Amino acid sequence: MNDKKIKKRTIIFLTASIVALLIFFILGLMLGRFNIAIDDFFKAIFTSDASLDTQRSIIVNLRLPRTIMAAFVGMGLSLSGLLYQETFRNKLVSPDLLGVSTGASVGAAIAIVLGLSSAFISIFAFLMGLLTVFVTVMISKLFRNGSSTILLLSGIIVGGFMSAILSLIKYMSGDITTLASITYWLMGSFESANMSRDYILMGVVVVCIVVLLLITHPINLVNQGKAEAQTKGINYNFYRGLIIVLSTVLTAISVCFCGTVSWIGLVIPHIVRLIAGRDAKRTIPLCITFGATFMIVVDILSRTFTDSEIPLSAVTGLLGTVIFVIILIIKRRKLNEHKDI
């Protein structure tokens, strides 16, 4: 397709998704088990009417932190998925490629078994997620082969090992409450959201996004492989390393606060590429707005329709699989030609 048409389409979708993000952000503050009518919502926000103290408290103390968290987790996981898929030139990989999510899950499970507070669960999850990726990279170095395939293989090995550890922890956790807590954490939730956690999450995600937006051209070149990048003047090893570090931090910081959330890192990059092609200066901004909107919608659905919250991964799984099938149908011509999707 003509570059000007793609550019125009990207601008239209980016504008529409920003509007959608704002609308769903407001809906995220209004909707839930206790729905707030639109006039009460605006009165509670913009006036100090004492009769709306309950609504104001729900909006400010409960829904604002979790909606912000949903938006930034959505941005983080979508971007991370996009970057992993582009860097490893495999559109079927997810942010857990190098074992960060399974590592974080083991960290969280250990903290839960030890009976630590939710803050420590997040810290354990974050550190263990990073440690797992570090081990993955170290194992790939043993092969003395800088290829992405070896790194991918190491990720599968370490991820498998961490999954086994997680199963052992669950098996040996003893009481049913601990096991339930681990299982619930693994399925993801924004219940533990608060503003102090949001500030950390926002800080990390914003820094990563700023760096990524500065290096969109090197990202495009890294996607073309080592020979292409290097002979065009891009330090492939440096930029690939930087992209992997940023993606890992984005995944770890997202997962440590809300548990593992599946599908978003796989589905959003595919939608974004359908619209904007494979130019990082277009796909990254779209991933930010689409990912944030998608996650807010998931959060609203997870807490609106039932008395108890539905785990995030259940909602993302249901939505994600349907969307993924639709994407495959849209791309069926390429699939039939055995071309890359």
Partner 1 sequence: MNIKTSNLSFKYDKKAAKPVLNHLNLDIKEGTVNVLLGLNGCGKTTLIKLLAGLEKPTEGSVIYGDKNLKDIKIRDRAKIFAYVPQQANVTNDIPVRQYLSYGTTNTLAFYEHPGKEEMEKVEATANRLGISHLLEKNLGEISGGELQIVLIACALIQNTEILLLDEPTSALDMKNQNLVLSILKSVAKEGKTIILSSHNPNHALFLDSNVILINNGVVCDEGKAKELIKVNKLIPIYGEHVCVSKDLGYEEISFK
Which residues of this chain interact with partner 1, rule CB under 8 A? 1-3, 89, 214-218, 220-221, 223-228, 230-236, 273, 277-279, 281, 339-340
Q: Which residue number, 141 or 278, has a Cβ lying nearer to partner 1? A: 278
Nearest distance in Å: CB 151, partner 1: 17
Least spacing, CB of residue 146 vs partner 1, in Å: 11
The least CB distance from residue 327 to partner 1, in Å, is: 14
Q: Shortest approach of partner 1 to residue 266 CB, angstroms?
A: 17
32's torsion region: left (phi>0), alpha (psi -120 to 50) or beta? Answer: left
Q: Which is nearer to partner 1, 267 or 296 (CB)?
A: 267
**Nearest distance from residue 76's CB to partner 1, in Å?**
22
Question: What DSSP line would sit under 59-94, residue for residue?
Answer: IIIIIHHHHHHHHHHHHHHHHHHHHHHHHTT-TT--
Distance between CA atoms of 113 and 119, rounded to whole angstroms?
Answer: 14
DSSP 34: S
Is the Cβ of residue 277 or residue 317 nearer to partner 1 in the bound state?
Answer: 277
CB-nearer residue toward partner 1: 194 or 224: 224
Of 85 and 313, CB closest to partner 1: 85
Q: Is 120 exposed, middle or buried (0-12, 13-18, 19+ CB in 10 A)?
A: middle
Helix 64-87 crosses helix 280-304 at what angle (to 10 degrees)?
A: 140
Q: Quick one: residue 263, left, alpha or beta (phi over 0 = left, psi -120 to 50 = alpha)?
A: left
Q: How far is the CB of 89 from partner 1 (least distance, A)?
A: 7
Cα-flanking dihedrals φ and ψ of residue 215, to 5°? -115, 30
The widest CA-to-CA distance across the chain, in whole angstroms, is 68
Q: What is the C-alpha to C-alpha distance for residues 60 and 63, in angstroms, rounded to an integer?
A: 6
Q: Say which residue the tokens 């003395």 belong to.
A: 144
- Residue 78 phi/psi, 5-degree rounding, is -65, -45
Instruction: Choose between 140 and 223: whose C-beta lies nearer to partner 1.
Output: 223
Residue 22 host element (H or E): helix 3-30
Nearer to partner 1, 124 or 236 (CB): 236
Minimum CB–partner distance for residue 284 and partner 1 (Å): 12
Pick the closer one to partner 1 by CB: 91 or 170.
Answer: 91
Give me the phi and psi of 202, to 5 degrees please. Answer: -60, -45
The distance of closest approach from Cβ of residue 82 to partner 1 in the complex, given in angstroms and rounded to an integer, is: 14
